Every structure is written in structure tokens, then in C-alpha cells.
Amino acid sequence: MKRLRLALPLLLLTSPDLLADTRDDALKLPNVVISANRQVQARNDSSAANTVFTRDDIDRLQPTSLTDLLSRVPGVQIAPTGGRGSLPGVFIRGTKSAQSLVLVDGQRIANATSGDSGLQFLSVDQIERVEVLRGSRSVIYGSDAIGGVIQIFTRRNAQAGLHPRLHVGFGSNQTWERSLGLSGGDERTRFNLGASLDETRGINWTHESFASDGDHDAYRNKSLSLNLSHSLNDDLEVGFNLLDGRGKSEYDNPFGRSVSFFETVGQKPYTDYTVSSASSYVDAKLNERWQTRLELGHTENRDTKRDHLSAEGSAFNTYRDAVNWQNDLTLDERNSLILGGDWYEDRVHATTDFDADSRWNRAAFIQHRFAAERFSTELGLRHDTNQQFGSQNTWSGTLTVPLNPDNEVLLSYSEGFRAPSFNDLYYPGSSNPDLKPEHSKTYELQWRSQLSDTLRLETSLYRTDLKDAIVAQPVDFYIPHNVASARINGFEAALKQQLFGWQGNLGVSIIDPRDRDSGHTLARRARRTLNLDVDRQFDKLGLGASWQAISSSYDDEENRNRLGGYALLGLRSSWALNREVLLSLKVDNVLGKEYARAMYSYQDPDFENNQHYREEGRVWMFGVTWTPEL
């Protein structure tokens, strides 16, 4: 059993010590996961199907955006509504965006009115690590974690001394990327400060319908991150994390603005946005068996819609304060326990009057883990009390059985729920204050195999049943109701291999997401996806390629408007001029494939007739990174 837990692909190893001295150290390691149980553990010991991107992975893959990075995860699909800065649909295992939880340094960042998390506004340069958990984790996190959890960790420092960095990039559509940072510290204190400015002229997101709609939709993002940690002694650490992204995103409204019953005029709308998260923590080792961590957090998601051609505007700003307390107890060699409590309060400040503009949620959870020679178990229970929807209990359980030192199977059951948003409950004219939470039950079988020293396979076969799903349909005048139910069957596999110096990562997902009432496929969910990344380092030269293949899907719940399948090829390279200067060049969609992942109009049955959101097409980016040695 012990050999099984420590068996890891050689291509992933960066340190002989899996569980590093501090959480900051652990964030540099690819073979640990933190989000599954809010504690550092080996990826092999986690019951959750998970994918981890370290900063080294991000630098190697050169993703354009956070959503570009997430699209490489098996079982995750992205459906943007335009170019950079557009609202993306994020579907984890066939669930919708609002049914997956997004965290920044442990803090929820979703807008409490719409449920969207603003992932399109988070700068990749300010990110140290991204962890994606596939499958419900409601026992640990409560509401929203039905499909999975995405956690973003801000940039960290793991070395003594001062380490500056500067990056400048230029690419297609007059895109500029500029960032600088400084990290440093000693044995007790570490810090990282970073700032970035991304700008692009963009593309026209939609086909022209009004004269004002024929312009390019620009995007501007200013981001700041700060991480500071200090060890008061060997057993006590305090710290502070900050991530702030704000800017302007232009978009199209192809339907125009009504000025009278008989007249509609064009618009040039844009959004002024802010997504920010700040948190502080105390992490203490009270004795050899008891570790405790207390976190205080504040997040803001501000969205102001304006129009260059009129004085109209609207604002939907949400604010959240949170307290998280967790205790990790080692009872003996075989038994461990997690005990914790959460509290958060959401507040809404908007130009639209809601019947209620604040609500709180408090919760307590417990999870027990037992590890024997021939099997291990994990059993958890959580109780949430919400000001609007009352009490909610969720359970989860996992049985892990090692077949031999290199193979293990996991059987699990997990429950999840999602609390209705403020828009669902209180938006004037299109809400329902009697809504109940959405519920889910997930059954999963995992097989994890160390096929060789350099080849690892992780597979999952799962079924998720959704009930009380919230939908708003034209027949009900877009008033949301708990009427829908869905069944999602799925299979996913992740293969990691190193062969002849090449590092390969293959992800495959097959899902059947169906509305159980109509039998239709859920909107914007492709049934088959494949992602392949291949990279190799030749001394100072790095080469890489990405291949993504997506099958067809439907843009609407009635399955009348089909989105065609597509395949995309991307190439990337890097060249280290010396120890301080690195050049990078990438080309996405090398073959210039025309494709669409979302539509905005169904009035004409011809898909090509001004109905789909445009994609950027073939784009390139050249960058220079300078990391001087002081």
C-alpha cells in the first residue's frame, strides 16, 4: 500500500519530498493536491479525480487565458461568447457554469447575482497554480460544487533573495501583454508582488446587424497580485493573499436597444469590471496530531454595463465576507479526521432593486479517513444552514482498493447542491422566491495505474443525476422553476507519458448529458473531446504542440441548432538566449479552422447566416521574459 501511494511518474517528479515544509512549497509541486480536502496531500491519496497545472506547466503551455488552460482538462468544456474578455460557459462533466465552484486562494469569487465567476478576467501571469477537481465536493465546500471545483492560487515565492521578472509580448489583433514582478524572502518571510497589463484590439464578436455593431471589440485588463507569508516559529505561520483584476471589455448586442415600440437602434456596449479576492490566514501546528488553519476572506465582483452611444447603464456589484476554519487531526496510524466550519455573507449593490440584497450561510463538516493494508475509506458529512433556503445535508463516501502495488480502484458516492442565485430568487419580473436548491447524486468508479516508470493512466466512469434543476423557459415567461432533471453518464481518461525525451499529456472524455424529461442533449455539451499536449526540451530550445478535437453539440435545449465539431492545432516554442532572457513564440489554430462554440440567434435555420459568435481564428504571440539575477 505504501509503495502504491508513492509510485509516481518520473516525468512529474520535482522533489523527493512530496509533502513540502509549507503550503507555498507544495504549490510548486505537480504531484500534490490541496483543494480536495483543503490540505496538502499526495495526488495518489486524493479520492477526487483531479488535474494540476503548476507555474512550470503554464510557462510551457503558453495559454492565452485561464479558460484556454482549463480547456485542456479531461471532462472540461469551454464555450466563450466571443473573443478575449467574453463570457465563457464552463462545463465540468456536463454541468453548467454555476454548478461548479471557483476559488481564488480558498475564497469564492462567483458573482452572487448571476453565478458567473469572471474567469475571463483573471490574468494568467498572476497565477502560480490551478487545480481542477472533477466530481462533487460539496461535503468540503458546500453549495455550487456539483460538477467540480476550480481553485486558482496566486503567484508564490519559494527561494531566498530577490528575484525580479519582466515579460513583454505582442501578437495578433494588436494584442499586448506586459507584466512585471518581484519575489523574495528568507527562511521566515516570503513575498511575491506582481502587476500586469493586457490589451487587445480584439475581433468583431458577432456578424454585423447594425452599423454600430461592425467594430472590433477591445479588451483591457489590469491585474495585481500580492502574497506575503511569515513563519513566527516552526509551528505557526501567518499570511496574506491578494488578487485584483479590473478593466474594460467591449461586446456586441446584435439585437440593439429599443427606443420605442416601433424602433430599435444599435449600441456600442462595454463592461467596466472588477474581480478581486483578499484573504489572510493563520496556520498552526498545535501538536504532532493537530493542525489548524483559520482564514478570513473578502471578495468583490463588480460589473457595470455602459454604452458609448447613450447614457444608459446598469451596475450589479456583489460583495462577500467569509470565515473558514479547519482542523486536521491524526488520530493514529490508520485514522485521520477533518473537522471544520464555514461562514459567509453575500451582499448586492445594484441599480436594480432586489427584494432582498443580502444573505448568509453557515456550515459545519466532518470527514473521516481510514487506511488499512488492503483498503482505505473516506466518509464525510456536511450541514449547511442558509438564510434563504434553510438547511441542507450532504454525504460522500469512497472505498479505495489496491489491486497490486501499481494499480488501484476507487468506488465513490457523493451528493451535491447549488443554492439559487439572487437573480433566480429576487430579480424584478423574472424571479421565483420559492425556488429550492438544485441537487445531485454522483456514482463513480476510478482506476489508477502506474503502467511503467514513465507512463501513468487515470480513468473515471461516472453517473450524475440532477434534480430540481432551475430553468427559465419562454413558455413560463422566463420565470425560473425547479422543473428539470438530468442524467449525465461519462467516461474520462488522462494519460501521461515520457518517451524519447518527449513529454505527452493525453485527455479523453466521452459524455452523454441528457434532459430526462425531453431526452434532449444538454446545450453546448459535446459528447466527445480529446486534448493532446506534446513537449520536449532540447537544451536551450523548447518545442511543443497541442491538438484539440471536439465533436458536435447543440446550442439550445430543444436540439434544433447544431454546432459543428472541430479540431485545432497549436504550435509553440521557446529559446533561452542565456540564463536571464527567454524568447517565446506560439501560433494557435495553425490551420485557420473556422468554428463556433456558441450561438446568439436562432431566427434563421442557416447556421452561417449571422447566428454564431466568432472565434479569433489563426493567432500568434511573441514574448520576451527577463529574469535578472541580483
3-state secondary structure of 61: helix
- What is the predicted pLDDT for the residue at 260? 67
- What is the predicted pLDDT for the residue at 25? 87
Residue whose C-alpha cell is 483578499: 278
Q: How far apart are CA 18 and CA 31, in angstroms?
A: 7
Q: How many domains does the chain have?
A: 1
Structural domain of 481 = 2-626
Phi, psi (degrees; rounded to nearest 5) at 495: -120, 125
The DSSP line for 396-410 is: EEEEEEEEETTEEEE
Degrees (nearest 5) of the Cα angle 497, 502, 505? Answer: 40
- What is the predicted pLDDT for the residue at 14? 36
The DSSP line for 85-108 is: TPPEEEEETTB-GGGEEEEETTEE
Integer Rg of the chain from CA: 24
Query: pTM surpassing 0.75?
Result: yes
What residues are paired with 568 via a beta bridge?
A: 548
Q: How far apart are CA 537 and CA 347, in angstroms?
A: 49
DSSP assignment, residue 340? E
Q: How far apart are CA 496 and CA 494, in angstroms?
A: 7
Give the residue among 375, 357, 279, 264 at the shortest CA–CA distance from 317.
Answer: 357
Half-sphere CA count of 52, side-chain side, radius 13 A: 23
Half-sphere CA count of 494, side-chain side, radius 13 A: 16
| Low-confidence spans in the chain with pLDDT less than 70 | 1-21, 260-261, 474-477, 602-610
**Cβ(338)–Cβ(39) below 8 Å:** yes
Residue 267: which CATH number? 2.40.170.20
What residues are paired with 381 via a beta bridge?
A: 366, 395
- What is the predicted pLDDT for the residue at 477? 67
As to burial, measured by CB atoms within 10 angstroms (0-12 exposed, 13-18 middle, 19+ buried), residue 12 is middle
Biggest alpha carbon–alpha carbon distance for the chain: 76
What are the helix (H) ranges across 279-363? none
Give the helix/strand (H/E) hosting 26. helix 23-26
217: left (phi over 0), alpha (psi -120 to 50) or beta: beta
